[in-house]
Chains A and B, each alone.
Chain A
Amino acid sequence: MRPARARRSRPPVARVVLWGLAAGVPLAFLAIFFAWPVLALVGRGFVTDGSLDLSGVAEVFGESRTWRLLGITLGQAVAGTVASLVLGVPGAYVLYRCQFRGRTFLRGLVTVPFVLPTVVVGVAFRALLAPGGPLAFLGIDQTFTAIVLALVFFNYAVVVRTVGGLWERLDPRAEQAARALGASPARAFRTVTLPALTPAITSAASLVFLYCATAFGTVLVLGPPGYGTIETEIYVQTTQFLDLRSAAVLSVVQLVVVAGALVTADRTRARRENALGLLPEAHGGRRLSLRADAVPTAVTAAVVILLLALPVATLVTRSLHAADGTWTLDNYRNLATTGGPNALSVTVWEAAGNSLRAAALAALIAVVVGGLVALVVSRRPRARVGRRALRALDSVFMLPLGVSAVTVGFGFLITLDRPLGLDVDLRTSGLLVPIAQAVVAIPLVVRVVLPVLRAIDPRLREAAATLGAGPGRVLATVDLPVVLRPVGLAVGFAFATSLGEFGATSFLARPDTATLPVVIFRLIGKPGAENYGMALAASVVLALVTATVMLLAERLRGESAGEL
């Protein structure tokens, strides 16, 4: 029954080569499509006539405008983070620790904003707050407050999911023990639960800080004239003033700010992965009590209705109205046109086709490259050198999260006319947009797939090996079945992110290959009620597609879901 064992084992050389390829392909991809463009752009800012020139740094920091931008960026990020935490932690409690009907649906619903395209959110908040909108009386249209609200709209889900994910697996007996020792519910929460949640809260806070500090589309659409953050300033300096030196200095400043947030996130993540007192599986929680849980329930209901649902509902109703206030489908009919005079080069539907094609390709690239990274990083080599190398690889692939998408986009333009000296101009091939979108989506894919692969007990693979399965067979029969669903989820994530990507795409898409977010931004920048109505309708279409993709992907999320 047993096959002959005479066959010699495969020489380790073959395995080294295979793993080398698995690590080398993503590294090469990252080097060509991320490191090189970004370094080239930064280099233009610091190198004049072949020698290092730091006068740009002094010049940029000598301007009061730079310090004002830095202040606005940090202020916006801190305000967005604090507000997201204050509102998100009660949400995590209600959605992950309490039982009530419709909980699963509500959990899915609060996730949708996270993947909504930034441009769409900008348009929705304008529709809500601008004169004629339901909340116009607040008088906060195009203010700092409006931007912060929109940032909370995005990042609420990040806090709820990160904190809730830990909270539902927290052993409730620790808090029960505190109660039995005489602590009031509030005191038990403060002294037992909150400290246990701290790693998740810090981890969420750094992510939210990161997203708030680098927000681009939202700020561009919602900010008052003259308002700017470092990210938008990079865009302005490169596209309007063609001042690459200042843009490069600002890119580095942003990288420093963001690296600080990422290091904090990484530290707390490591602590979270070996956190104590966790249950192997989520427990259902207890029934929601409207009296005992009045405060968190009220906060969560207010957030869901006022902050999450209202802007989206306004966007939808406004898209169904003509400029004179009558109900109409004209805005949607106009999607088959190129808008008012000189508005667009393609119809909105053609742009939607461009978006779908680019996003599909981007998702494919992101899942292949990100999947390989997750696979390699999830191994546990015996040698310490190997483990260090893998940790470095993991961090390196998080970098695109921290570098301005605008920087990536512009870097592409100046380097990829003749990549590696080859005589192909990638700029006209139509491949640049999906590649740039993939660079942005890869970290997300890694974050979704890697924790699942890491959670596989190595002894499961050992058990398979002792039953006669070779390394390839172990991968196919142990790792693959576990990781199929998360990979599906990652595809959805990558696809949705790519659909809404604006920062890099706005640089790279040519007029005839414009994607939906680019078209929407162009439409709201043009005068005319017809253009504005089309922007609203196009936003609804884009939001609908993204949300559908995301909700479908969410169904693939297993119990061992990754982060985000």
Chain B
Amino acid sequence: MSRGLEVRDAVVRYGTTTAVDGVSLDVAEGEVLALLGPSGCGKSSLLRAVAGLEPLADGSVAWHGRDLAAVPVHRRAFGLLFQDGQLFAHADVASNVGYGLRVAGVRRTDREARVDELLGLVGLSGYGSRAVTALSGGERQRVALARALAPRPRLLLLDEPLSALDRALRERLAAELREILTATGTTGIFVTHDHDEAFAVADRVAVMDAGTILQVAPPEELWAAPVSWRVADFLGYQAVADVDHERVAVGPTGLETTVPDVGRWVGDVVRSVRRRGRTEVTVDVDLGGGVGRYTAVPGAELTDGSDTSVGLRLRADGCAPLPAP
């Protein structure tokens, strides 16, 4: 008997459209898996099917080897965190966090202790009596996380929990989320369309597109060896280059400028800007599939930035080989 979640050939349909098309997936106990994909790829539908909120048209979802088809949402003990928190507006912070405990019939004193513990964990100690309407977006998501964790769910499902927040907050919360999930030993599925977020939070990442899983691997491995250009594209690779008849995915820092006669290719500089303390050169160049506009890292040979025509070469640590299509 396997421990943890087992999804086998899951199919979710809405009318005639198929949102999830035969997905199989395992999440081991204590592991956090990210479901990464563009909007509309079926990742949220898969998550809802695991939670029991959407019926499976085919396939199965099992926990510890036991099929969950007959188990309704509220008996699965799977927590769910929505993108916009979905806090109960008529209750204060503590009642929100304690909701699942109250439903489970936990004694008042135990409940209060657990609520305090959770509020401490998400960095909101002393917020218990506040109205949820008075909270900022980030605070709301922290409360929603505390609420979902309070009944100690066997599995926590996170549906783009950070997407509604601004970037700085998103990055900080992603790191905190990882710490909290690790500290509590929570098994989780984290749905996101942001590869940085997926890498920051998850032990393994499943890349999903058009209702199917393209690849599942730990972040390092995924980054080093995407199985297809489609996967590489989601991970933020900017181009496919043709190097001695081998296909290579070029990452955001995979291209470097040099003097024209040294480079493998010659391109035209469009502009050069500084972003996050680093110079980025935008070039028009043909890497084998026609002229495209790409970003390159300035090489040591070029310093004044006044050149209009530059040589370009690959940087090994910014590229990954692609299997033949």
Contact = CB atoms under 8 A, between A and B. Distances in A.
B161 to A, nearest CB: 12
B300 interface: no
Interface stretch (A74-82, A108-116, A463-471): A463-471
Report which residue of A9, A463, A478 has the largest number of chain B beta carbons within 10 angstroms of its beta carbon: A463
Contact of B103 (A9, A460, A468, A482): A468
A1 B104 contact: yes
Contacts of B157: 466
B104 A470 contact: no
Contacts of B275: none
Interface string A457-499: 1011011111111110110011001100000000000000000
Contacts of B110: 1
Contact of B100 (A10, A460, A467): A467
B80 interface: yes
A9 B100 contact: no
B137 to A, nearest CB: 14
A281 to B, nearest CB: 10
A333 interface: no
Interface in B101-135: 101, 103-106, 110, 114
A238 to B, nearest CB: 50
Given A1-B151, A481-B90, A468 B77 contact: yes
A487 to B, nearest CB: 14
A407 to B, nearest CB: 42
B73 to A, nearest CB: 4
Contacts of B104: 1-3, 468
A467 B76 CA distance: 9
B71 A2 contact: no
A7 interface: yes
Interface residues of A, number: 29
A463 B106 contact: no
Contacts of B91: 481
A460 B74 contact: no
A291 interface: no
A9 B55 contact: no
A481 B91 CA distance: 9
Contact of B75 (A7, A459, A477): A7
Interface string A7-23: 11110000000000000
Contacts of B15: 384
A286 interface: no
B72 A9 contact: yes
A8 B114 CA distance: 28
B73 A465 contact: yes
A463 B80 contact: yes
A471 B73 CA distance: 10
B152 A2 contact: yes
Interface in B63-115: 70-80, 82, 86, 88, 90-91, 99-101, 103-106, 110, 114
B322 interface: no
A8 B104 CA distance: 16
A5 interface: yes
Nearest to A466: B80
B88 to A, nearest CB: 7
Nearest to A468: B103
B151 A2 contact: yes
A471 B51 CA distance: 15
Given A3-B104, A477-B99, A466 B88 contact: no
B255 interface: no
Nearest to A480: B90
A173 interface: no
Given A1-B106, A1-B151, A9-B75, A468 B88 contact: no
Contacts of A481: 88, 90-91
Given A3-B105, A466-B80, A467-B103, A459 B86 contact: yes
A382 interface: yes
Contacts of B25: none
Contacts of B103: 464, 467-469, 473, 477
Given A3-B105, A459-B86, A467 B147 contact: yes
A5 B105 CA distance: 13
Contacts of B53: 462, 465-466
Nearest to A457: B86
B80 A469 contact: no
A477 B15 CA distance: 31
A469 B74 contact: yes
B74 A466 contact: yes
A314 B73 CA distance: 62
Interface in B11-57: 15, 51-53, 55
B14 to A, nearest CB: 9
Interface in B149-191: 151-153, 157
Contacts of A382: 55
Nearest to B107: A1
B133 to A, nearest CB: 10
B220 to A, nearest CB: 32
B148 A466 contact: yes
B185 to A, nearest CB: 15
Contacts of B82: 459, 462-463
B74 A465 contact: yes
B77 A2 contact: yes
B288 to A, nearest CB: 45
A463 B86 contact: yes
A463 B156 CA distance: 12
19 contacts: A1-B114, A3-B105, A457-B86, A462-B80, A463-B82, A464-B88, A464-B99, A465-B53, A465-B74, A466-B51, A466-B79, A466-B148, A467-B148, A467-B151, A468-B100, A469-B99, A469-B100, A477-B88, A477-B103
3 residue pairs, one from A and one from B, having the closest CB atoms: A467-B100, A466-B80, A465-B73
Given A9-B70, A466-B78, 19 more contacts: A2-B77, A7-B75, A10-B72, A457-B86, A459-B82, A460-B88, A465-B53, A465-B73, A466-B53, A466-B73, A466-B148, A467-B103, A468-B74, A468-B100, A471-B74, A474-B74, A477-B88, A481-B88, A482-B90
